[in-house]
Structure formats: structure tokens, C-alpha cells
């Protein structure tokens, strides 16, 4: 007997199954990285995107109505979207749910219309769509649905497995459409992530037993066990205590889940449930995560956060003390004309942006792309009529644009900075006496003159951009390709700069990362100054993770 429709309950389960399949496979997706660098984060970004929606769907219960379900799927993924593939996934879900939200069941014709709408919405969200990506895989599956329906197929038990099979065939063809994938020997990571979602949905439809438990535990960041990595000095430096007046019962499973979560983000000293009250005592590096978890269960009282300075080295202690606000923040007054939000990772880089007039710095970058919601929150905190956003990473620009489109109470202008040096140049070229449009044009023109190089290490053997690369080699990565490779870091940096410098170059700026000492950075500076004696060389402590050095040539 043919199956001709999907009801709301099954649709909800199919979506949750797809989210869980992606979550289970995120590391596998992360490893499908074109460049062999330790910042593969497509799987993590897509998982965090869909899990933002999955948690909202879970909270609807087992009997949601279609409109509420679609709102949770679309709104949750849009706010939680991270990275380009995550944003595209959120747009696919937005288009899909827009087509079905006013219905009670999804029929075969409606499925065809919904798939078409999903692909159209995702393509419109990308300024310059590239084939051989998640978009190609989504379009291929949408076209297969239409083909089957036009040929008279009415059984979803036939349509869905056939579409899944076709999707994998399209995914396998992505290296033929995008040469850089073929050269690296991988399929498109975003497309692979999408197939995990569809696989889970089809398996649930087909009756496979799948545990649909959605955890509140934070998704782990990409492993950062790179050569020469310095151990963190600060460990669980905030002693956090609170009482929670419960608004819901805490059963044994929930108590176990919460304890597990708290132990993951710190050192849980005590978790005592007494009647309608819970007392939490924990040492952690992020008290905010503890508060966010606890507030879901009731009203917080007697909250106390103190810094365990004995667990911080002298320099870090001074930074903690100087960063602590002396008084409560003043209420917002009249908004200024202009404000800035920038994304960067590393205390040094954050301080550089603040010194250039940036109002709010979002901690993020490679391996930890901020979500649309993170950028929206930052924009909201800037008391200005027009807010310029500097993403400083090509994988954050789409999320920034999505935040811009969701902002209604102020003008948001996204300057498409793809690197930290571009962001710094944009901030330097801002003029308070010029209009928003004039500043936007000036900053975009200025960032086009900046060349960026980054030094990291290879996580696998490969051959790319005519370089034979071995695991552990240092690599100098330019704006478009790998510029130098070798086993001597300083030599790799100098060779990379040699590829970037031309007759118009005047300044080389060097930002050293968290795993480089100032002494070593100064030795490299001297080598660069000797090699490029006609250029000025500037060095600053960026403190960034993942990349030993970020270099700009202007």
C-alpha cells in the first residue's frame, strides 16, 4: 500500500533524526577539508545550526502542530546558523518550512513544491553560488523529487529512498564540478553534512529505531592539539555559587544530565537538590554557561561569582583585575551615529580592535564561527544608529548578512572583511565626519589593497597548489592558495611574504599567536626586516589560536 503523506508527528521525528545523524558525524564532516589545516569546522557549524532548531523542536513535545513545528525549525536554525554551510542549511530549512507551514500533512505534490522552495531560498541567500557545493547536492535532490512526481510516482516509500540514493551520487560528483575538491581528494563537506540530515530523515520514515534524545550539552570545538601548543594558564578560574528555586521537577535522569553538562564545562564541587531548591557550587572558566543552564529550571538566587586568582598567573590576574568593571554599566543614552562590531580570536587582536574604536568584539574566527544570534546580540548592545560589522573571516560573512537582514531597529552595514588584517584596515579607514555610504565605500576599497598570509601546520599528507605536503609541515596560506611549505617555521613565513610583496608594497605587519613567544616573534621580525630592507616591519601580539602568525602586506 502506497504511503502518500507525512503527518506532523512523523515530520518532527524525521527532522530530529536528521539532526542526530549530523551530530554523530560532525567530526567525519570536519575532516573533509580542502586545505589540510587544523580548522575544519563545517561539521561543527552545521551541527550547531541544526541543533539550535532541534532543541526548539524537542521542547514542543510529541504532538506539535505544523505551524509551531515549522517556526521552531526555521527560526531556530536561522538564529543558530554558523559558517557558510550552516547558513545555507538554515535557508534550506526556511524555504522548506515556508512551503508546508500552513498545511496539516505533507503530501507528495507538497513535498515537491517544498523541495523546490528550499533550493530557491538557499540559492538566493548566496551572492555568488558555486557549483560542487551543498547547493548542488540540494538542487540535485530537489530535481529528483520533481522528476519522480512528474513520472507519476505517488509512493513516498519509493520517492524518499530514490532521492537519498541520487543525493549521494550528486555528492560523489562534486569533485568533478569543483577542481579544488578533486585536487584535495575529498567531496564537498557541506554537501556531505546535508546528506547525513537526509539519511537520518529517510531512516526514520522507513521505521528504523533511532534514539531521538537531544542533549543540551555544548558541542565540542574542533580539536586544537597542534605542534608547539602551549598549555592554558587559566583553569576553572571562576568560583560560581548559586541557588535555584525550581519551577520544574528534577528527576534522576535530568539531574544526571545536568551534572554531566556542568562537569564538562568545569569542576563541579557540589550539586544538592533539597525539595524545591538546588544549590550549585562549581569552578569554571565560563560562569555564563552555568547561569544559562540553571535558569532553565527556575529562579536564580544568591548568585556569587569570584575569581580564583591563585589559579591564574600574575599577568593573567592583572588582566582579569583591569577588565573587571568598577561600577554597573550606565543605562543607554542617545545613540551615536556610528558603531562597530568586529569578530576576532585572541586577546591581543581584540585589544587592537578596541583601540581602533570598535565597540564590541565577538570572540570567534576559525574553528569557532559565531552564530547569527551572536552577531544580532552584539549589534543590539552597540548604542548607535548605524552599526558596521567586520566579520574578518570569509566563513562568517553570510551569518553577518543574515543578522543584518533580521535587524529592524538600526542600520547594519556588513563590510565583507575576510581576514583580520582586512578588518584592521577597514577600522583604520573609518572617518567619523563622512556619511555611512562614504565610509562603506572607503572601507571596501581599502580592504581590497590588503594581502593576508597565515601560518599553521598540516594535519595530513596531500598535494595541493603544486606543493607536496606532509603531516606536521608548516604552511603559509595566502588569500587564494598555499604560498609556502616547509619544516622551518621562520623560513616558511619569509618565503610566504616573498610571494606577497610587490613593487607597491610598503608595510609588513606581523601578528603572533598564542603559541609563539614574543622573543621568537622578534627573531622572526629581524629576519623579515633583513630580507625586505626597503619595507617597514611592524610586530604585535595577536594571541590568536590555530595560526602561529597572521601577516599582512600593504
Separation of first and last alpha carbons in the chain: 69
How many CB atoms are located within 10 Å of the residue 9 CB?
Answer: 12
pLDDT value at residue 467: 86
The pLDDT score that the predictor gives to residue 61 is 85
Same domain, 455 and 443: no
Mean pLDDT value of segment 147-156 = 96
Please identify, among 407, 428, 447, the residue that sits at the C-terminal boundary of a domain.
Answer: 447
Indicate whether 250 and 197 sit together in one domain. no
Same-domain check for residues 420 and 523:
no
pLDDT mean over 215-232:
55
Cα radius of gyration (the chain)? 25
Angle at the Cα of 122 from the Cα atoms of 143 and 340, rounded to 5 degrees: 170
Q: Residue 523 — pLDDT band, cuts 50, 70, 90?
A: very high
pLDDT band at 38 (very low <50, low <70, confident <90, very high): low
User: DSSP assignment, residue 8?
Assistant: H
Q: Residue 227: is its pLDDT beyond 60?
A: no
Do residues 176 and 185 make contact, with C-beta atoms less than 8 angstroms apart?
A: no
Residue 220 within any structural domain of the chain:
no
Number of residues that make up the chain: 554
Average pLDDT for 275-287: 84
Q: In 358-457, where do the E strands start and end?
A: 360-363, 384-390, 411-414, 451-457
What is the structure's pLDDT at 441?
95
- pTM confidence score: 0.74
Identify the pLDDT of residue 309. 53
> pLDDT category, 87, cuts 50, 70, 90?
very high
User: Average pLDDT, stretch 71-98?
Assistant: 93
Q: Are residues 168 and 58 in the same domain?
A: yes
Predicted local distance difference test score (pLDDT) of residue 366: 66
Indicate which CATH number applies to the domain containing 411.
3.40.50.510
Residue 90 confidence (pLDDT) above 50: yes
Is 343 in the same domain as 247? no
Q: Write out the E strands in 191-307.
A: 238-246, 266-274, 277-284, 298-307
308: confidence class by pLDDT, cuts 50, 70, 90: low
> Is a pLDDT exceeding 80 seen at residue 122?
yes
**What pLDDT, on the 0 to 100 scale, is given for residue 235?**
62
Running DSSP on this structure, what letter comes out for residue 41?
Answer: -
State the residue range of the domain holding 353: 336-447
Which is nearest to 258 in space by CA: 239, 241, 240, 273? Answer: 273
Residue 220, burial from CB neighbour count under 10 angstroms (0-12, 13-18, 19+)? exposed
| CATH for 474 | 3.30.1180.10
- Of 447, 480, 504, which closes a domain? 447
More confident position, 320 or 89: 89
Q: What is the pLDDT of residue 249?
A: 66
Q: What is the pLDDT of residue 312?
A: 52
Q: Is the dihedral of CA 495, 500, 501, 507 positive or negative?
A: negative
Q: How many CB atoms lie within 10 A of CB 488?
A: 10
- In 292-396, where do the E strands start and end? 298-307, 336-344, 360-363, 384-390
* Partners of 413 in beta bridges: 388
Instruction: Identify the three-state secondary structure at position 455.
Output: strand
Q: What is the average per-residue pLDDT within 321-349? A: 71
The domain tally of the chain equals: 4
More confident residue, 446 or 266: 446
Round to whole Å and give the CA distance between 433 and 338: 10
The answer to whether the beta carbons of residues 475 and 456 sit under 8 Å apart is yes
Query: pLDDT-derived band of residue 330, with 50, 70 and 90 as boundaries?
Result: very low
160 and 248: one domain?
no
Residues 253 and 377 in one domain: no
The more confident residue out of 365 and 48 is 48
Virtual CA dihedral for 442, 448, 450, 454, nearest 10 degrees? 130
Indicate if 37 and 149 belong to the same structural domain: yes
- Residue 289 covered by a domain: yes
Q: Which of 65-69, 321-325, 445-449, 458-462 has the lowest mean pLDDT?
A: 321-325
Task: Report the alpha-carbon distance of residue 226 to residue 260 in Å, rounded.
Answer: 27
User: Chain centroid to CA 285: how far?
Assistant: 21
Specify whether 163 is located in the same domain as 26.
yes
Return the CATH number at 169. 1.25.40.340
| Residue 265 predicted with pLDDT over 70 | yes
Per-residue model confidence (pLDDT) at position 228: 54
Query: Does residue 424 surpass a pLDDT of 60?
Result: yes
pLDDT (average), residues 172-182: 91
Q: State the pLDDT at residue 231.
A: 46
Question: CATH number, domain at 286?
Answer: 3.30.70.260
Mean pLDDT, the chain, rounded, equals: 87
Helix residue spans in 101-221 (DSSP H)? 108-125, 134-150, 156-177, 179-184, 189-205
Give the count of alpha carbons within 13 A of 3, CB side only.
15
Structure confidence at residue 346 as a pLDDT band (50, 70, 90): confident
pLDDT bucket at 220, cuts 50 / 70 / 90: low
Q: What pLDDT does 116 receive? A: 96
Identify whether 386 is part of a domain.
yes
3-state secondary structure of 24: helix
Which residue did the predictor score with more confidence, 264 or 413? 413
Residue 540 pLDDT greater than 70, yes or no: yes
Mean per-residue pLDDT for 401-428? 94
Averaged pLDDT, 314-333? 45
The alpha carbon dihedral of 58, 63, 68, 70 has a sign of positive
Q: How confident is the model at residue 266 (pLDDT cuts 50, 70, 90)?
A: confident
The answer as to whether 397 is a domain residue is yes
Q: Worst-scoring range by mean pLDDT, 269-273, 382-386, 507-511?
A: 269-273
| Nearest-angstrom CA–CA distance, 159 and 438 | 53
Average pLDDT estimate for 12-35: 90
Query: Stretch 132-155: mean pLDDT, rounded?
Result: 96
- Is residue 541 predicted with pLDDT exceeding 60? yes
Residues 360, 299 share a domain: no
Q: Could you tell me if 246 and 138 lie in one domain?
A: no
Give percent of the chain above pLDDT 70: 88
146: left (phi over 0), alpha (psi -120 to 50) or beta: alpha
DSSP 390-440: E--STTTHHHHHHHHHH--SSEEEE----SHHHHHHHHHT--TTS-HHHHH
Ranking 272-286, 482-496, 525-539 by mean pLDDT, the lowest is 272-286
Looking at the structure, tell me whether residues 248 and 300 fall in a common domain. yes
Amino acid at each position: 500500500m502506497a504511503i502518500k503523506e507525512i503527518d506532523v508527528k512523523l515530520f518532527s521525528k524525521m527532522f530530529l533524526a536528521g539532526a542526530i545523524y549530523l551530530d554523530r558525524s560532525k567530526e567525519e564532516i570536519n575532516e573533509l577539508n580542502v586545505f589540510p589545516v587544523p580548522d575544519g569546522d563545517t561539521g561543527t557549524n552545521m551541527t550547531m545550526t541544526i541543533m539550535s532548531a532541534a532543541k526548539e523542536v524537542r521542547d514542543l513535545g510529541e504532538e506539535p502542530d505544523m505551524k509551531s513545528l515549522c517556526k521552531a525549525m526555521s527560526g531556530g536554525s536561522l538564529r543558530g546558523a554558523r559558517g557558510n554551510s550552516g547558513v545555507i542549511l538554515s535557508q534550506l530549512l526556511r524555504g522548506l518550512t515556508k512551503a508546508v507551514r500552513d498545511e496539516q500533512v505533507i503530501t507528495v505534490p507538497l513535498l515537491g513544491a517544498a523541495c523546490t522552495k528550499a533550493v530557491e531560498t538557499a540559492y538566493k541567500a548566496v551572492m555568488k553560488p558555486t557549483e560542487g557545493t551543498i547547493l548542488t547536492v540540494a538542487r540535485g535532490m530537489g530535481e529528483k523529487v520533481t522528476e519522480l512526481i512528474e513520472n507519476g510516482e505517488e509512493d513516498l516509500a519509493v520517492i524518499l529512498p530514490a532521492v537519498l540514493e541520487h543525493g549521494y551520487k550528486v555528492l560523489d560528483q562534486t569533485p568533478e564540478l569543483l577542481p579544488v575538491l578533486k585536487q584535495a581528494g575529498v567531496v564537498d563537506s557541506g554537501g556531505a553534512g546535508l546528506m547525513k540530515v537526509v539519511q537520518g530523515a529517510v531512516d526514520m520514515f522507513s521505521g528504523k529505531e533511532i534514539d531521538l534524545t537531544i542533549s543540551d550539552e555544548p558541542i565540542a570545538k574542533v580539536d586544537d592539539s597542534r605542534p608547539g601548543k602551549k598549555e592554558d594558564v587559566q583553569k576553572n578560574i571562576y568560583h560560581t555559587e548559586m541557588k535555584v528555586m525550581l519551577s520544574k521537577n528534577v528527576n534522576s535522569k535530568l539531574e544526571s544530565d545536568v551534572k554531566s553538562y556542568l562537569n564538562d564545562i568545569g569542576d563541579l564541587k557540589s550539586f544538592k537538590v533539597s525539595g524545591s531548591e538546588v544549590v550549585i557550587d562549581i569552578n569554571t572558566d565560563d560562569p555564563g554557561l552555568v547561569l544559562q543552564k540553571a535558569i532553565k529550571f527556575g529562579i536564580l538566587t544568591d548568585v556569587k561569582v569570584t575569581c580564583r586568582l591563585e589559579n591564574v598567573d600574575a599577568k593573567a590576574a592583572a588582566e582579569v583585575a583591569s577588565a573587571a568593571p568598577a561600577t554597573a554599566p550606565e543605562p543607554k543614552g542617545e545613540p551615536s551615529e556610528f558603531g562597530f562590531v568586529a569578530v576576532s580570536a585572541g586577546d591581543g587582536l581584540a585589544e587592537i580592535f578596541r583601540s581602533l574604536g570598535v565597540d564590541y568584539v565577538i570572540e570567534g574566527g576559525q574553528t569557532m564561527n559565531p552564530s547569527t544570534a551572536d552577531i544580532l546580540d552584539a549589534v543590539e548592545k552597540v548604542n548607535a544608529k548605524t552599526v558596521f560589522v567586520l566579520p574578518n573571516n570569509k566563513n562568517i560573512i553570510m551569518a553577518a548578512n543574515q543578522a543584518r537582514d533580521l535587524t529592524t531597529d538600526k542600520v547594519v552595514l556588513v563590510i565583507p572583511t575576510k581576514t583580520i588584517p582586512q578588518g584592521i584596515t577597514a577600522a583604520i579607514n573609518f572617518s567619523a565626519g563622512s556619511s555611512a555610504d562614504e565610509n562603506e565605500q572607503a572601507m571596501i576599497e581599502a580592504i581590497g589593497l590588503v594581502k593576508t598570509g597565515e601560518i599553521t601546520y598540516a594535519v595530513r599528507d596531500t598535494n595541493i597548489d603544486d606543493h607536496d605536503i606532509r603531516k606536521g609541515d608548516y604552511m603559509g596560506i595566502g588569500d587564494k592558495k598555499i604560498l609556502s611549505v616547509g619544516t622551518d617555521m621562520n623560513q616558511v613565513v619569509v618565503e610566504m611574504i616573498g610571494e606577497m610583496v610587490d613593487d607597491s608594497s610598503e608595510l609588513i605587519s606581523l601578528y603572533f599567536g598564542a603559541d609563539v613567544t614574543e622573543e621568537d616573534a622578534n627573531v622572526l621580525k629581524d629576519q623579515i626586516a633583513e630580507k625586505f630592507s626597503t619595507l617597514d616591519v611592524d610586530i604585535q601580539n595577536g594571541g590568536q589560536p590555530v595560526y602561529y602568525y597572521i601577516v599582512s602586506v600593504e
